[in-house]
């Protein structure tokens, strides 16, 4: 056993060293690519200067011959026309997030000929992104998303100017970044970012196209359109007008936890691009005549789309009303704390160390006794992908639903055991219970629930969770465990 532990420790040390070396190589590659980009920009500037010195013949047409050929099919659409195309060429659009929403949105904005497209993202490409984030390719895994996306966009259409903002959007920098663009696309996936983006867009007078997607459903809104000063009743509502309070932090599910179908988030990103083109190419009079609405998409419903009319600006909105309390200074200074406003969840502190075991401790049989029960609280669709031998699947959704519907006490004054508990666990009062989930969060909640039901027998029976769930199981015990 000691030899195995030593071998595992040695392998972990080698992996850490290799990862450090890989990180160093990525930094060097990024520096080289930045230098190459700077050289290319300098060469282009020199070429432009040389061209300007030479006498040029004024063209009869506002677009180049190549642009007429490239954009001709959309320019003959009545709603766009030549004037709409010229507006697109002169427009500057900022896409915040180069993921599942931002990729298709940027792809079609570039294809349509938007003059300047900025991309904001601090993440790198992972293989788990590739089924839905269509600008990234397998060869770019490990590369910054904005650089990967711009590489693809430049191949698609070399006419627009692409600007990379290689960091997550921060309140201190958001106003300065937004100020250089005409329209903002919110392609992020968390409430704190959505409130920050909306607040900054409203304070700077920028219209905003916001979307979200999870599992098989999506939502879309065009906000602050037309943009008007705070207190003006003719301006479009902002994100705070629609959602004055953020959802409970423990109710927010990410794509990593809840899952996402690629075409679903792709549909919402395409709709963002479409709405952006409509906003950029239309007039303010048309924007004022278009009532705000929330578009809801559900892939497995009939019909798949439905729209809900939104109210105009709230008279007490903290950003766009006459009683506004959020200002550019409060955003820049950090006094408007978006993370605190939206709340945080720290499941790592939910249980004491005595109520948790590591995957290695579980595998080695520490504190287990002669037998043990393993409850896997992932949803059945995940349980079917991979599971521990002889484990029992009780989905977290089933446990939560029972908690809301079960009576507090039975006729004898005792709290009844819920129906989702199998008999082999309730009839056995001695063998320990281990609870496992995907990342070690839900399992802690279930351990507390089991103890509230009295299954730990006042501490005589072991009821613990496997710390870190199957994410840690793969790292510590079985490297071949499916990573999904």
Residue 416 pLDDT level (bands cut at 50, 70, 90): confident
Q: Which of 103, 187, 342, 437 is catalytic?
A: 437
187 belongs to an annotated ligand binding site: no
pLDDT, position 368: 47
pLDDT, position 82: 97
100 belongs to an annotated ligand binding site: yes
Give the bridge partners for 116, in sequence order. Answer: 92, 161
Residue with more model confidence, 444 or 408: 444
129 belongs to an annotated ligand binding site: yes
**Cα dist. 108→266, 269, 372 in Å?**
11, 9, 55
pLDDT, position 51: 40
Check if 8 is active-site.
no
Sheet architecture: strand order including 463-466:
356-357, 463-466, 433-436, 373-376, 392-393
Rounded to whole angstroms, the Cα distance separating 76 from 69 reads 12
102 belongs to an annotated ligand binding site: no
What pLDDT digit, counting tens, does each position of 292-317 carry?
999 999 999 999 999 999 999 999 99
pLDDT, position 189: 94
Q: Is the dihedral of CA 103, 176, 240, 257 positive or negative?
A: positive
145 belongs to an annotated ligand binding site: yes
pLDDT, position 276: 98
The tokens describing 391, both together, are: 């484990």
Q: Does residue 125 contact residue 141 with C-beta atoms inside 8 Å?
A: yes
Residue 257 pLDDT level (bands cut at 50, 70, 90): confident
What pLDDT digit, counting tens, does each position of 437-470 carry?
999 999 999 999 999 999 998 989 999 999 999 9
What pLDDT digit, counting tens, does each position of 1-24 carry?
567 777 776 777 777 667 667 767
Averaged pLDDT of the chain: 89
103 belongs to an annotated ligand binding site: no
pLDDT, position 50: 45
Assess whether pLDDT exceeds 90 at residue 220: yes
pLDDT, position 471: 94
pLDDT, position 244: 95
Q: Omega before 87 cis (within 30°)?
A: no
320 belongs to an annotated ligand binding site: yes
First to last CA, the chain: 30
Question: Could you give the 3-state DSSP secondary structure of residue 368?
Answer: coil
Using alpha carbons, select from 288, 293, 95, 289 the residue that is nearest to residue 182: 95
317 belongs to an annotated ligand binding site: yes
Check if 255 is active-site.
yes
Rounded to whole angstroms, the Cα distance separating 136 from 141 reads 8
Q: Does residue 327 contact residue 443 with C-beta atoms inside 8 Å?
A: no
Q: Does residue 457 contact residue 412 with C-beta atoms inside 8 Å?
A: no
Question: What global pTM score does this model have?
Answer: 0.80
Q: Which of 8, 187, 255, 342 is catalytic?
A: 255
Mean pLDDT for the stretch of residues 183-192: 96
The distance of Cα 111 from the centroid of its chain, to the nearest Å, equals 24
Q: Does residue 37 contact residue 129 with C-beta atoms inside 8 Å?
A: no
Catalogue all structural domains in the chain, each as residue range(s) with its CATH number.
Answer: 63-342 (3.40.50.720), 353-477 (3.40.250.10)
Give the bridge partners for 161, in sequence order. Answer: 116
User: In what helix (H) or strand (E) does residue 152 lie, and over which residues does it extend?
Assistant: helix 145-156
190 belongs to an annotated ligand binding site: yes
Sequence length of the chain is 484
Mean pLDDT for the stretch of residues 258-281: 97
The tokens describing 66, both together, are: 């190549």
Residue 144 pLDDT level (bands cut at 50, 70, 90): very high
Rounded to whole angstroms, the Cα distance separating 398 from 114 reads 48
Residue 48 pLDDT level (bands cut at 50, 70, 90): very low
What pLDDT digit, counting tens, does each position of 367-398 carry?
444 579 999 999 999 999 999 999 999 999 99
Q: Does residue 432 contact residue 372 with C-beta atoms inside 8 Å?
A: yes
Place of tokens 């059945």: 380
Assess whether pLDDT exceeds 90 at residue 402: no
Residue with more model confidence, 97 or 255: 97
Mean pLDDT for the stretch of residues 411-438: 85
Assess whether pLDDT exceeds 80 at residue 279: yes
Using alpha carbons, select from 403, 406, 362, 401 the residue that is nearest to residue 379: 401
Residue with more model confidence, 36 or 41: 36
Assess whether pLDDT exceeds 70 at residue 35: no
* DSSP calls for 126-140: -GGGTTT-TT--GGG
Using alpha carbons, select from 474, 462, 475, 481 the residue that is nearest to residue 357: 462
């Amino acid at each position: 056993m000691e030899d195995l532990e030593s071998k595992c420790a040695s392998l972990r040390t080698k992996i850490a060293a290799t990862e450090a070396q890989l990180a160093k190589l990525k930094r060097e590659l990024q520096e080289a690519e930045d230098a190459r980009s700077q050289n290319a920009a300098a060469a282009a500037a020199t070429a432009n200067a040389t061209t300007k010195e030479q006498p040029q013949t004024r063209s009869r047409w506002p677009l180049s011959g190549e642009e007429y050929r490239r954009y001709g099919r959309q320019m003959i659409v009545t709603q766009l026309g030549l004037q709409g195309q010229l507006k697109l060429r002169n427009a500057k659009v900022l896409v915040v997030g180069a993921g599942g929403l931002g990729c298709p949105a940027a792809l079609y904005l570039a294809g349509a000929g938007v003059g300047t497209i900025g991309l904001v993202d601090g993440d790198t490409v992972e293989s788990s992104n590739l089924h839905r984030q269509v600008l990234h390719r397998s060869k770019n895994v490990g590369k910054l998303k904005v650089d990967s996306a711009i590489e693809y966009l430049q191949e698609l259409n070399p006419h627009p100017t692409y600007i990379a903002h290689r960091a997550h959007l921060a309140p201190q920098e958001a106003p300065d970044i937004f100020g250089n663009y005409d329209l903002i696309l919110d392609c992020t996936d968390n409430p704190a970012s959505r409130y920050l983006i909306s607040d900054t867009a409203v304070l700077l007078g920028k219209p905003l196209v916001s979307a979200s997607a999870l599992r098989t459903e999506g939502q879309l809104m065009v906000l602050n359109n037309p943009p008007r000063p705070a207190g003006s009743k003719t301006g479009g509502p902002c994100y705070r007008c629609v959602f004055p309070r953020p959802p409970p932090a423990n109710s927010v599910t990410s794509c990593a936890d809840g899952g996402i179908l690629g075409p679903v988030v792709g549909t919402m990103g395409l709709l963002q691009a479409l709405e952006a083109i409509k906003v950029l190419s239309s007039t303010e009079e048309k924007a004022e005549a278009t009532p705000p609405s929330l578009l809801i998409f559900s892939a497995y419903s009939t019909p798949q789309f439905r729209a809900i009319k939104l109210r105009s600006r709230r008279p007490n909105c903290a950003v766009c009303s006459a009683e506004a309390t959020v200002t550019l200074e409060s955003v820049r200074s950090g006094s408007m704390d978006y993370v605190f406003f939206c709340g945080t969840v720290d499941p790592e502190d939910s249980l004491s160390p005595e109520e948790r075991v590591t995957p290695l401790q579980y595998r080695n049989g520490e504190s287990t006794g002669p037998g043990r029960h393993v409850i896997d609280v992932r949803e059945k669709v995940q349980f079917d992908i991979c599971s521990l031998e002889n484990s029992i699947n009780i989905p977290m959704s089933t446990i939560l639903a029972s908690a809301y519907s079960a009576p507090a006490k039975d006729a004898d004054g005792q709290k009844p055991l819920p129906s989702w508990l199998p008999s082999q666990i309730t009839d056995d009062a001695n063998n320990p219970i281990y609870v496992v989930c995907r990342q070690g969060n839900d399992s802690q909640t279930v351990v507390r629930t089991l103890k509230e039901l009295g299954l730990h027998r006042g501490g005589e029976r072991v009821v613990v969770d496997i710390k870190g769930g199957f994410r840690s199981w793969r790292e510590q015990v079985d490297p071949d465990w499916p990573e999904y």
